[in-house]
Structure formats: C-alpha cells, structure tokens
Structure 1
Amino acid sequence: MAKTLLSQSITDLQGPAQVPSGPSTPDESPNAAPLLLQYWGAALRRKWLILAIMLLALAVGVAVTLLATPQYEAIAQIEISRDERNPTKIEGIEGDTAMQDAEFYETQYSLLKSRSLAERVARQLNLASNPDFYAAHGFDPPAAGADARSRVRSAGTLLLANVEIIPISRSRLVNVRYTSANPELSARIANAWVENFIQATADRRYASTVGARQFLEGRLADLGVRLEEAERKAAEFASNKGIVPLSRGSNSDGMTQTQQTLAGAQLEALSNELARATADRIAAEARTGNTINSSVVENSTVAQLRQQRAEAAADYAALMQKFEPGYPAARALQNKLDTLDKAIAAEESRVNRARSTGFAEAARREAALRSQVATLSGRLSQENRDEIQYNIYQRDADTTRQLYDSLLQSYKEIGVAGIAANNISIVDRADVPTSPSSPVLLVNLLIALFFGALAAFFVVVVLEQIDESLREPSDVQRLLQHPLLGAIPMSTEEEPVEQLDDPKSELSEAYLSVHTSLAFATDHGVPRSIMVTSSRPNEGKSITSYALASVLARTGKKVLLVDGDMRSPSIQELDRSVNKRGLSNALAGDADWKTHIRPNRTERFAILTAGPTPPSAAELLSGARFATVLDEALQDFDHVVIDAPPLLGFADSPMIARAAEATVFVVEAAGVPVRGLQSALARLKAAHATVVGVVLTKLSLDRFGYGYGYGYGYGYGYGRRDAGDGSDERAAA
C-alpha cells in the first residue's frame, strides 16, 4: 500500500502526459519546487565542494591564528556627565540647554577619536621618536630626515588605527581601549589618552572664554563713557529746570522713575491745607446761618445755666401751688430766675459774636491758601513738561547702566567658569595586561567558518547558474517543452532488474507511473510500438525499455522487447542471456527471424536481442526492412518496445523513430546540458518522430524536496565488450 501511494504521489507530481502548446516560463511551471528546497537540493548536490571550501577556510583560520602576533589591549574608563561639576556655582557662557542636547555624547565620542587628541598623546609620550611604538604595531619608524610635524602626524594616525572608543549603554561611562603587541605601551597610551582628553576639554573651555573676555573689556570701556555722559546730561538738565526730586523708584523694567519732586510735595501739602480751610469756612458759614446755633446748644456754660434755671423754675412752680407770688421765698426764686435769664442771654450773645469772627477768619485763610495753590500749580505744570525730557535722559542713563552691569557680571563669571567647570572624570585607570586578547582560536575559526560558508554559498550559486542540466521534474516541461512521463528515482541496489521483477518495489511503482502517463498518449491508450532512446549513453534508456516491457506484461499484454542498439547491445546483460542471433539477422533478410525471439528469464514477455554486430547498423536501418519486421512483430504481440541507440553521434534512432508509433525520450537528471537535449529532440523532430514524453531518470528525490529517499544506480557502458564468450555484451547498470 505504501508503494502504491508513493507511485501515485509521483504520478501526481508529473501530471497527465500532454503535448505542450508552447514554451513555458519558470513562473508558469506549477510543479517547480520551493526556492528554499531548490537551494537545499543544490547544497546536497555540491556537498563535497561545500565541505572542501569549509575545510579550506578552517585551515586558513588556524594558519592565521598560529602566525598572528599576540595583541594586548588595555582599557581605561571615564565618566562623562551632561551637567558640569562646578563648585563655584558660576555659569559658563553656554546655557544649561546646550548640555542637554541629544548630540552631546556623540560629540564627546567624536572628540575622543579626534586627530588632535591623538597627536597630543603622541607629543606627550614622544611616540614619534620611539621605535618600540612602531615595532609594537609591525611598522618601521619614519625616515630620519622627516620633519617633526610629519612624524607626529604619522604617530597620531597609527594611534587612531589602534584605539577604540566603547560607550557603555545606559550609562555615562566610556571605555577607551588601546591594542598593541606591547602590554606596557598599551597601558601607557590608554591612560595618557584619557588624561589628555580631560585636559584638552579644559583647554577648549578656557580658550573659548579668551575671545569673550576681550570683547567684554572693549564693550565695558565704551559703556562706561556712555554711562557717565548720560548721567551728567540728566543732572545738568534737572539743575537748569529746577527739578528737585525728593524720592525715586524703579518700574517693572528696572528703569528709574521720579516718584515726587519738591514742587509736587509743596503742592500736595498746600492742597491738603486748602481742603481743610475750605471745610472750616463752610462749617463756620453753616453755623452763622442757623437760628438755633449749635455752638450755643453745645456750650457747657449755657447748658449749666439752663440747668440751674430749670431747677429754680421747678422750685418756684412748687411754691406757687401753696403760696402767693408775694411770698418772700417765691420772690427770692423769681429774682434768681431773672438773674439766670440775664446770664444765659449774655453768654449766648458772646457765643454768637465769636461765631461771626471765626467765619471771617476761615474765609480769609481759605482765600490765601487758594491763591498759593494756583501759583504752585502753574509752576508744577511747567515742571511736568520739563520732566519729560528729564526722563528721556534718565532712561538713557538707566539702560546704559543695566547693560554695563550685565557685561561686568559676565566678565567676572566667565573667567572663573572657564577654569572651574569639569564634567569628565577617570573611573578606572588602565592596568598592564597580563595575557593577550588576540588572536583567539575559537573566534578565528568561527569567522573562518562564516566566510567559508559565504564563499561556498556563492560558489554553489555560480555553479548552479552555469549548470544547464535538468535537476528536477518541473524543468522538463519548462525547458524541453515536452510532457514528463515519469520521474525514476536513483537506487542503491546493484541489480535494478531484480527490483523490476518485484511488482511492489519502488522502481516498479515508478515505472508504473510512466505506463499510466503513456495510457494518455494516444486515443487508443498505450502506443503499440514504442521506441526508447536518450541523448547519450549511460542515461538509463535500456533499463527503461526493460521496465516498460515488464510493466506492460504485468497488465496482461503480449510484449516484445527489441534491442535496437546493434552497436552496443545491453538487453542480454539485463536479462542475463546470450546475444547470438537477433535483430541484425532479421534486418539482413533472415525469413525465420521470429525463431530468434525467446521469452525473458521471468517468461513474462519476449525478447529479440540485437544479434551480431553488423558492419554498418545505419545501412540496415535505412531500408524498409525494419518497418516490415516491426509490422510482422505487431501481428503476434500487443506492444513492441524498442531499445534504440543514443541520438547524439548516431543516425540509428531517427530511422527507428520513423517506423515506431511513439518515442520515449530518456533524460538523466543533472546530466546532459539542456542545449544537448534540445539538439537531440530537434533531430527526432526532423525525422518526424512522435515524441510522447520524457522520462527523467537517476533522480535523487530527497535533494529536491519531495521526501523520497529511494532510487537505483545504473549506467551505459557504451563500447565495452566481453570477449570471454564471443557475444556482444555491454555493461548495463
């Protein structure tokens, strides 16, 4: 059952045999294997070449490792902070935002790899004149006649080629690694590199303030002269106009404002006094116009007298209830009342006279104050007009003073900030390495393995591109424009004929699929006469002929297998028989040629061997005798299978193809180039042969992604002869 399913799978891959309507392209081939499987198949085909390239690469890696000079690397670590360590708390000329830029650290890394830093290290360590430095890198020192500048530049270039800046991710730490063949020299250079980087950073900061200080000094001198002149103009104008400021203040812009002058203060005081005088005059006028003077009512003396009179009047009224008015006590009280009335009248008269005098005095005072206020208001109006120009002079002086103070403060700060600022520190100094860091055998082998694999890949790709042979079943329709009848797998068995004898073998199942495809070749099923040929020897045409005869015989048909290759016959070897008389005798005119037909060793079908080798096989086939023999054979057999010679180099097969009903073209997978196959098919077309399809043999299906690992090995030993028995036996595998 498994073998049947396998055969059916191969048949499904091939599809029914069809005559192509025209050439197809790779994109039109539905049976093409996936690209990765094609690459896998190519790798399997070239596995020994790939292995050789990989081994060569590994050998090169080992040789490089053994011959390389040991290298020692020393690592110094520094910390670079965005915020400067500034113990003076004085800001530099750059703002805080400049240190927050995303480009800050990239700038620092570039400065660590700058040529100026390398030459600075070279000068400090005197590397330009140190032969050990050049020897540690495998170079000769510069010529003695070279100038000092070129020697330092050469040493700096060599330093840059061997230093590596390695930022540590997610931190402010940076490793400076230097590699050379001298461990002490590597440590010295790594430490000198970070020290000079810190010093160079400080030098750049200080140098950046020199120009600023020179500029500020010139500006401060100019502004000092302008400030003095502006203040003098303001003072002279105030003196000439009589402007006496009593108090000054500053607005939101820091400009000086005169809040009050002497004239303004005097006017304010007189205005207050005038307001009070006016109020006093109005109060006095109100008191003068009242009938009942409130001053009188409110006078304590008058109130006391009125109280005494009221008491006396009460006592008098009490006596009048008992006595007559002439009663002495009553007369005494009456006299007291008269006296009190006179005193009250005198006091009220005095108060009224005082009220009239106060009103006149208040009116005179109000008039005097109003006159002074009017005079001072005129003076203040003129002062306000003069103060506009005074404020212009004052604002000019204030603006100049602010600019002067700001520049003076900056001048004081940058001198300190350029020296005190520091944002770089050494975390770890480089120690002298005790063991070499390179070469590392494992790393070199991995690198060699990688490049070997890469080289093998390119070599395989190039070889596959220039390889024009058929490598998989889908190439048949695409490149040869003929249908695929079957794909015959490669076998490891030495005797494929024994597998053909077993109907359940993989090889039998594969050829059964070819029989199935041939059933669709004509309207009446499998062609009655079938010629099997190939482009060259050793492609498997003989085993294919033998297998087709065997498969047809198992279907109950009478089959004759004819060995048409009279130059190099091989059917007798496949059938393990002798080749004494056969087709050559029939073509030579032997009327009893049918007596040379004999059953094969399994007695399933009949065999007509090639017979003795004729002087010229082409001459025997060129006449009409072969067609006659074929017709006579078809009278006794249902099918005749002819094992024809190869096409290239011989004229036999085209002659046989003219007489046969159908031609089966056998192609070895990854064998003959496509151009050779197309040339062979063109010869068949010129002979008007009916090519019903192609059988692809010796196919390693596991290389093309089909998953089948079986096959067989066979060959075509063209031109070989076994002289032991005098028969024409050829090696067929």
Structure 2
Amino acid sequence: MNRPEVFSPRDAGSVLPKAGAALRGETGREDTPIALEYLRIAKRWKFLIAGTIVGFILLGLVITLLMTPKYTAITRIEIARESKKIVNLQGVEQEASDADQEFYQTQYGLLRSQGLSERVVGKLKLQDDPAFFRMFGVDLSNHGIQNGDAEGFTPANRALRTRLAAEALLKVVGINPIRLSRLVDVSVTTPDAELSARIANAWAENFIQATLQRRYEASSYARTFLENRLGQLRQRLEESERQLVAYASAQRIINLPTTGGPSDSRAERSIVADNLASLNIELAKATAERVKAQARFHQQRGRAGDTAEALENPAINTLRARRAELAADLQKLTSQFEDDYPAVRAMKAQLAQLDRGIAREEVRVSGSIGGEFNSALDREQQLAKRVEDLKGDLLNLKRRSIQYNIYQREVDTNRALYDGLLQRYKEIGITGGVGVNNIAVVDTASAPDRRSSPRLFLNLFISAVLGTMLGVGAALLLDHIDESITDPSEVRQRLGIPLLGTVPRTMDVEPSDALDDRKSPLFDAYLAVQANLRFVSERGVPSTLSVTSTRPAEGKSTTALSIATMLARSGRRVVLVDGDMRSPSVQSLLDVDQSRGLSNYLAGEDELQGLLVPTTRFGFAAMTAGPLPPNAAELLSSDRLSTLLNRLLEQFDHVVIDSPPVMGLADAPLIGARVEGVVYAVESHGVRSRQVATALARLSDSGARIIGAVLTKFESRRASLGYDYGYGYGQSGTA
C-alpha cells in the first residue's frame, strides 16, 4: 500500500488552477494515450453504443421490409468518336479529335437530357398511362389533372403530362460510363421488371435516332443555306461576266483562251501579245539570216573563187575538173611537141574557154550572195519596224486592260466561290442521305429476374455503420459534456487532490450492517481508507478531521461513521461528532437520542460528559447535533468549537466530525479551518466535477487542509476501464 499525497493549505496555489480547469470543463486527461481514452469512452458508454447500433439495425430491417422491390435493367451502348464513313466525303459537322474529352461529356449530357426523356415517353406512350404516374408517385392533381383517371387525360394537357412523365423518368435512369472505354451503361430502375427493360431499350434506340436526326437537320439546314447562297453567287457571277464583256467590247480588247496549263484552264491571252511574240521570233530568225548572209558577203569580196559557195557550186566544180584534165593532157603534149603544134594550140584554146566559163560562174555566185544579203537586211528592217509598232500597241492595250483585269478578277472570284459552294452542296446532299451513325447498341436490356433493391444485407450493413457512427458520436459528445467522476483516476486528474480510497455502492444492505461484516466490500474499502490516513502526516492519522462533501447524500456521513469505526477497532479512542446541525444523520445511523449534543455545547453548556453517548456496537463515543439551532453558522464561528476539540482530545485520540456539505453553506469551511484535516467525499457517477472544484476552492480559501478524497458509491461495471474493487483498495494511495 503506497502512501497518499496530502493536500494542505500550502498546496492551494496548485489546486486552484486545476479546479479552474474543471470549472472550464477540462478533463485533465491529456497524459492518457488516445487509444486508452477511446477505449475508456467505449466501455463507459457501451450500452448506449450497442443500443444505438441495434436500434439502427432494427430500423434498417423494418425500412427494408417496407420498401417496394425495384428492378434494374441495363442497356450497353458504344459511342465512337468518329462515325464509320460509307462515302469518302466530309460531313457538315466537324468530328472530334482523339484528345477531345468534351465530346464524351457532351454525349453523356445528351443521354441525360429532358428532350431524350420526352422522346422515350412519346415512344412508349407513358403520358397516357395512369398506372405509370401512380407507380412513380406523380400527383397529377397538383397540376389540375384528375390523378389516376384516364378520362382526365385530354389533348390540352398532353404536353404537361409528357413533361411530368419525362421528369419522372430522369429520376430512375442512370448513365454510367465504363472507365477507359467507349462503352456506356444506361440503367433503369422501376418496380416493374418488364417496364425497366422497355425503357432502357427505348432510351438507347431514341438516343441513336435523335443523333441521326440532329445530323440530318444540320445537313438539311446547310443545304438550304447553300441553295440560297448559290443563287446569290450565280446572279453576282452573271452580272460580273456581263460587265467584263461590255467593257472588252467598248475597248476592243480581244483575248483568246489558252490551254497552256492545267492549273488555270480559263486563262486568256491577247492577240497583240501573240502577234508580238510571233514577230519577235521571226525577227530573231531574220537577224540570224542577215548576219549569216552578211558574213558570206564579206567573205567573197576580193576572192570570188575561194568562197564556200564557189567551192560548193557543182557547175564550177565540173568546169574545174574538166580544166584539170585538159591541163594534164596539155602538159603531156608540151613535153613532146612545141607550142605551135596544132593540138597544143587547140588544147590551150579549150583551157582559155574553160577559164572564162569558171570566171563567169564565180561572178554569178558572187552576185547571188550580195542579193541574198540585201534581201535579208531588208526583211530584218521590216520585221523590226513591225515589232516596234506592236510594242506600242501592246503598251496601249495594257493601259486599257487595267480595268478589264479588275473585272476579270471579280469574275474569277465569283466563279471560284460559286464552284466551291456547288461542290460542297453536292457533297452534303450525298452525306445527308446516307445516315451514318457513331452510336451502336452492344447489349440490349432484358427483364431482370432478381430485384436490385432493397438489398437486405447491404441495408443492414449501412444501418450498422450509421448506428455505430451515431452511437460513437453520442458517446463522445456525452463523455465530453459529462462532468461526473466515473474512474478513480479522475479524482486526481480533474480535482488535483489525492484519492484515499474507493467505496463500492451497497444495494441490499445498510452501511452500518456492512461494517459489521469483516468480509464485506464496504468494510475492506474503508479499511483501505483508514490505512491510507496513517500516512497523511508524521503523527499518522490526524487527531481531528472532518468529513464533508459537495452536496447532501454523497456518503459523507457513512464515510465519517466508517472512519470512526475503523479507528476504534484499531484500538484508538475515537469520538464521532455530528457537525451537521441543519440536517443531522448520526443519530439515525447509531440509533441514539439527539436531545442533547453539539449545539448545546456551542450555545454555552460546559458539561461535556452529558453530551457524549457511548456506542458499544461500534466501539466509539458519539456526540449528536443536538437541538437544531436557528443559525448554525453563527455557533460554528465562535471559539467554542476550538475549545470543544481541545477538551475532546484530552479524552480521545481522534475526533471525527460529520460536517455539512460545502455548497451553499458556510458551516463546512468554518469546521474545516479548525481541524487538522478534511476528508472529502465525492459521489461516483453523480456529482459534477465543476461543482466539486468550486467547493474545494471554497475550502482552500478558508484555510482548510484537505487530506484527500473518498470516491463513494462506486460501481465497477460503470467504470470506463472496468476497474474492480482491487483497484480501489490496492491503488488508492497512488491516485
């Protein structure tokens, strides 16, 4: 058994902050491990938590049994980013790129649209089915329609019924994209399995039809727009062409079409430019011929027989060959005959004739070269003059063609726009009629065999989780706002005073009878308290001590009786004084007369022996409260109380005073200031620690020496960590 700490007036400075912390609602458990703290709370409020869980489970079971069974049908569709192209032509809508996630978000939004829901309602004729509105809990009477009466379904309110039915459908349809895929599940949950399957399939089919319709309407709008635009461009092209032709006629601009390049099949060229180009070519040829003729002409001057024409002339060459033969024959003759020989003279005459013929031919050849030169020069000059004239005409034509080119460009622009729109119009006409689609049904919905809700085990699990959360939350909240002392360790933590012992609650036996049984828990508990009191001072148990509490009925009188009994049984001389002159209880515990007692002595009576009552049962003497005085605090504030204590100590070893409660009265501080120590009784699971802290602060302010506390009416089953009686007996001194 460890020696307890003692609280004295010197410790008032340390207990007041702790009492203030208790007044602020602080528990002082900051040193307790968080796991043990939660375990303490769970064990303390285990019945609350368990009851909450069981209640929620029962509530979930009842709700599940009362819920209407529902069935879920699922249709799976595939949404591709690009539609499968039947023709290699671009549609009017721009296709989404692979990285464009907005495309899929748009498709999911269209699947949840009010318009699609109304299409499904119209397809299945749900707006004309009173059972459908009753099944989904739609009160048509709020909208001026007799609820559940088909006769109230008129054409005038058909649009309203369609909208209401569509809104009801949107609440039971779920759009669930499958992650990392192009698949989307369309789920429908209704009380009717067949209806769920019909709605799911109709939802997918109408979504595909709506997509095709939007594509067709977009193409139709584009075709109408292009038709109007083509008419405007056609009229503008005709006007610009008329303007171009009129200007060309007025300015006498004649251009010829050309096919020079495939990139510009409508290019034109002017006649002047063609003529200038042709004459330029002819002029170049004439110049070349003139230069060639001039070269031959200069070459034959002074050497007519050495010119190329002369050398290449067949007549001259023939004459020269004949002369060479005659010259050879003449040389043979002159070697044999004289020059006067007739044959020699005849051959010489032939040679002279051939030389004259060659000379004549050479003169004729030279004359023809000069004629060719003069002819070439004249032709060149004429072509040069014509080219200069055409250049002037071309420059004049270019000046007049500036406005013509402006008109021509306007014609070309209008023709390009017209041709482009015409080609686009033809493409849209083809793609709009094909009806391609990027959405396909993968799995159609069938009527489910098993209901999807309510799910009993899931609902029970959710109820258990909710009950646990609420129970734990309520336990934490109640534990936070609960200021009662539930564990022996909280006496030190919350109040800052030592714990002398823990006294269990006695249910079926009176405390006086339990003290007679040495094997009873109450006897053992107060035996531990008496043992701890021996260590509160150097002289052991204080000679004078009082027992008080915060409020009445906390067990202070039983504690005072038990301490006196334990001291008397240990061989000490003890007197028990009932200091509660407002609500005395010692006379009832001891079953003695209270006609004379403490109030008599404090009022001035000096005969002490007549005021003491011996108790053979408990082994100590007792002094009852005596007659009830009009003002007990006035009697206790006199010096008669100190005198009484001194006189009693002359006959007894210990004086134990059953003091009144502290709160609301001045009696307990007056008594506590005159005794050596005060034992404070604290009711377990009852009094608030804030009130106890306030009472302890009052006692400390009066100069009372608080020895420690006794935790009364303790119930181990309600303890946070399951303390048993052994804790209170064996560990009280260390609290």
Q: Which residue of 2 aligns with 1:498?
A: 524
Query: Which has the higher mean CA deviation after the structures are superposed, 688-697 or 181-190?
Result: 688-697
* Structure 1 counterpart SS, 2:407: helix
Partners of 1:193 and 1:572 in 2: CA distance: 87
Report the residue type matching 1:536 in the other structure: R
Superposition map of 1:189-208 within 5 A = 189-208=199-218
Q: Which residue of 1 aligns with 2:230?
A: 220
CA deviation after TM superposition for structure 1 residue 679, in Å:
4.9
CA deviation after TM superposition for structure 1 residue 30, in Å:
8.6
CA deviation after TM superposition for structure 1 residue 664, in Å:
5.5
CA distances 1:512-569 after superposition (whole Å, capped 9, x unpaired): 9x96xx78xx9x99988654532135657689889999999xxxx9999875556677
Report the residue type matching 1:498 in the other structure: D
Q: Aligned in 2, Cα 1:28/1:54: closer, same or farther, shift over 3 Å?
A: closer
Report the residue type matching 2:14 in the other structure: Q
Gaps (5+ residues) in structure 1? Answer: 602-606, 716-733
Partners of 1:437 and 1:465 in 2: CA distance: 42
8 A contact 2:70–2:452 mirrored in 1: yes
Instruction: Tell me if 1:689 matches 2:704.
Output: yes
CA deviation after TM superposition for structure 1 residue 702, in Å:
12
Partners of 2:26 and 2:321 in 1: CA distance: 143
Determine which of 373, 379, 395 is the counterpart of 2:387. 373
Q: Which residue of 2 aligns with 1:285?
A: 294
Partners of 2:692 and 2:25 in 1: CA distance: 18
Instruction: Tell me if 1:409 matches 2:405.
Output: no
8 A contact 1:19–1:692 mirrored in 2: no
CA distances 1:65-123 after superposition (whole Å, capped 9, x unpaired): 22222222222222222212332343332212389642222222222222222222222
Q: Aligned in 2, Cα 1:118/1:246: closer, same or farther, shift over 3 Å?
A: closer
* Structure 2 counterpart SS, 1:77: strand
8 A contact 2:60–2:463 mirrored in 1: yes
Q: Which residue of 1 aligns with 2:115?
A: 116
Superposition map of 1:268-347 within 5 A = 268-289=277-298, 296=306, 298=308, 300-301=311-312
Q: Which residue of 1 aligns with 2:152?
A: 145
Partners of 1:668 and 1:463 in 2: CA distance: 19
Identity in percent: 36
Report the residue type matching 1:153 in the other structure: R
* Structure 1 counterpart SS, 2:82: strand
CA distances 1:206-227 after superposition (whole Å, capped 9, x unpaired): 2333333322222111111111
CA distances 1:258-308 after superposition (whole Å, capped 9, x unpaired): 363322122112112212222333344344445787993645459979998
Report the residue type matching 1:133 in the other structure: F
Partners of 1:169 and 1:487 in 2: CA distance: 68
Partners of 2:362 and 2:543 in 1: CA distance: 171
Determine which of 255, 259, 263 is the counterpart of 1:244. 255
Q: Aligned in 2, Cα 1:315/1:564: closer, same or farther, shift over 3 Å?
A: farther
Q: Which residue of 1 aligns with 2:441?
A: 426
Equivalences, count: 673
Q: Which residue of 2 aligns with 1:235?
A: 245
8 A contact 2:175–2:187 mirrored in 1: yes
Instruction: Tell me if 1:646 matches 2:646.
Output: no
Q: Aligned in 2, Cα 1:425/1:450: closer, same or farther, shift over 3 Å?
A: same
Superposition map of 1:501-512 within 5 A = none
* Structure 1 counterpart SS, 2:87: coil
Q: Which residue of 2 aligns with 1:180?
A: 190
8 A contact 2:71–2:192 mirrored in 1: yes
Partners of 1:45 and 1:696 in 2: CA distance: 17
Higher relative contact order (CA 8 A, sep 6+): 2
Determine which of 377, 392, 410 is the counterpart of 1:363. 377
Q: Aligned in 2, Cα 1:293/1:151: closer, same or farther, shift over 3 Å?
A: farther
Partners of 1:178 and 1:648 in 2: CA distance: 69
Instruction: Tell me if 1:160 matches 2:170.
Output: yes
Partners of 1:169 and 1:578 in 2: CA distance: 86
Q: Which residue of 2 aligns with 1:657?
A: 672
When normalised by structure 1's length, the TM-score is: 0.72
Instruction: Tell me if 1:267 matches 2:276.
Output: yes
Q: Aligned in 2, Cα 1:281/1:409: closer, same or farther, shift over 3 Å?
A: closer
Q: Aligned in 2, Cα 1:54/1:364: closer, same or farther, shift over 3 Å?
A: same
Instruction: Tell me if 1:18 matches 2:18.
Output: no
8 A contact 1:223–1:404 mirrored in 2: yes
CA distances 1:399-442 after superposition (whole Å, capped 9, x unpaired): 21222223223333334434513122222222122222222210
Query: Which has the higher mean CA deviation after the structures are superposed, 25-34 or 167-176?
Result: 25-34
8 A contact 1:549–1:559 mirrored in 2: no
Partners of 1:211 and 1:613 in 2: CA distance: 110
* Structure 1 counterpart SS, 2:442: strand
Query: Which has the higher mean CA deviation after the structures are superposed, 439-448 or 612-621?
Result: 612-621
8 A contact 1:644–1:652 mirrored in 2: yes
CA distances 1:680-706 after superposition (whole Å, capped 9, x unpaired): 34653674535587777889999999x
CA distances 1:614-643 after superposition (whole Å, capped 9, x unpaired): 444958856545424545688999998766
RMSD over aligned CA atoms reads 5.8
8 A contact 2:614–2:622 mirrored in 1: no
When normalised by structure 2's length, the TM-score is: 0.72
Determine which of 450, 470, 491 is the counterpart of 1:455. 470
CA deviation after TM superposition for structure 1 residue 50, in Å:
2.0
Gaps (5+ residues) in structure 2? Answer: 140-146, 506-518, 730-735
Q: Which residue of 2 aligns with 1:169?
A: 179
Report the residue type matching 2:415 in the other structure: R
CA deviation after TM superposition for structure 1 residue 374, in Å:
0.8
Q: Which residue of 2 aligns with 1:384?
A: 398
Determine which of 413, 416, 439 is the counterpart of 1:399. 413
Q: Aligned in 2, Cα 1:245/1:301: closer, same or farther, shift over 3 Å?
A: closer
Superposition map of 1:555-574 within 5 A = 563=576
CA distances 1:590-632 after superposition (whole Å, capped 9, x unpaired): 767999999x99xxxxx96655564449588565454245456
